[in-house]
Amino acid sequence: MSASALDNKTVLITGGTGSWGMELTRQLLEDHGPREIRIFSRGELKQVEMRRSVSDPRVKYIIGDVRDKDRLRLATKGVDVIFHLAALKHVPVCEENAWETVQTNVIGIQNIIEASIENGVERVVDVSTDKAVDPFNLYGVTKACGEKLMIAANLLSDKTRFVCIRGGNVLGTTGSVVPLFKEQIRTQNSITITDPNMTRFIMRVEEAIHLVLHATEAAVGGEIYVMKMPAIKISDLAKVMIESLGRSDTEVREIGIRPGEKLYEVLVSRYEIRRTIETDNYFIILPQIGIDHLSERYSQEDLTSSTLEEFNSVNTQQLTNLELQLLLSLDGWLEEPRRRSSDMQLSAGADISRESDNESLIDLVKAPIDSRSAI
């Protein structure tokens, strides 16, 4: 797909009222020229709220559930590109509601595949998660299964192409740890963490969606694109938020790992690294199964000679506390940051000179993304 591949296209976003979906909608409207964007979700209230904040007439709203194949068939008529974001995502909830999770995250994705092929959709993009790698919890197992279904779907159609984009945590999304910590400081003067050594990938939602769109245009179908993301220690996140929002007596309480949680996350496993192509901003994982059109794009010479056994939240770049403070400040999570970015001494090689406070964390840590460059 070319740089203007989404221009004049009809786009369907499942789970489109969440943090990822709203940012994706914003970037599509501002930076691309879609003919129509259809927001497909099952929550009436969320759709009403989004209607109030997004008034562009190109945005349409459809109440529906990915479990309902008939509803998906109707919703995908005339659609060119699908971004599949809908999922049950909270690890403990998925552990306790196992069959509901399977119906949404596995059967739902198969319904997307079948409806897309029936209606001649050009491209389907499944946004996946680091928890799909070496899965330890049901959420990860279902997302790993969803990736397999999506990649194998390229064997079912000559017209519809399917690609996965895998990423880690996005800062401040609904139900995530940053708004939780802020609320705990405000109401309890304490923060609860599960393990002080726990690490997680982290990125701003604007940057994550930028990467999703760039990978969508670069992929040919059958790949798993993996975002290169920095990581943080959860204990460092707690410390930074307490320093800016808490008091001298604000406590950190350790409560133990929750059911299904890992100490660290993996974005490319040791089994995948051998069939992975590394670029500046992504790892591109090629499938184990043979997909004809992929051999026209990639060759054995493209495969990475990385010395990493795997790409995880321990061996990726770790943000310093000052970098993390700036990241939180950019998204407004710190009401009164104690230090301005001009006063910060960042880690060696980092550069904080920027034209505006809205530039991405990738610029901050000297890993810029040029959306116009070839991958």
Whole-angstrom CA distances from 224 to 139, 149, 252 are 18, 12, 38
- The count of other CB atoms within 10 Å of the CB of residue 259 is 11
Q: C-alpha angle with apex 168: 164 to 169, nearest 5 degrees? A: 130
DSSP state of 279: -
Dist CA 105 CA 96 (whole Å): 15
Q: Are 24 and 209 in contact (CB under 8 A)?
A: yes
Find the catalytic residue in 131, 228, 233, 262. 131
- Residue 54: which of 68, 34, 72, 73 has the closest Cα? 34
Longest CA pairwise span in the chain (Å)? 63
- Residue 82: which of 28, 51, 38 has the closest Cα? 38
Residue 131 falls in the annotated catalytic set: yes
Q: Are 301 and 346 in contact (CB under 8 A)?
A: no
| Residue 235 CB burial class (10 angstroms; 0-12, 13-18, ≥19) | middle
Q: Across the chain, where does the E strand assignment appear? A: 10-14, 36-41, 59-63, 81-84, 123-129, 161-167, 169-170, 190-193, 199-203, 224-227, 231-233, 251-254, 266-268, 276-278, 282-285, 311-312
What are the catalytic residues?
A: 131
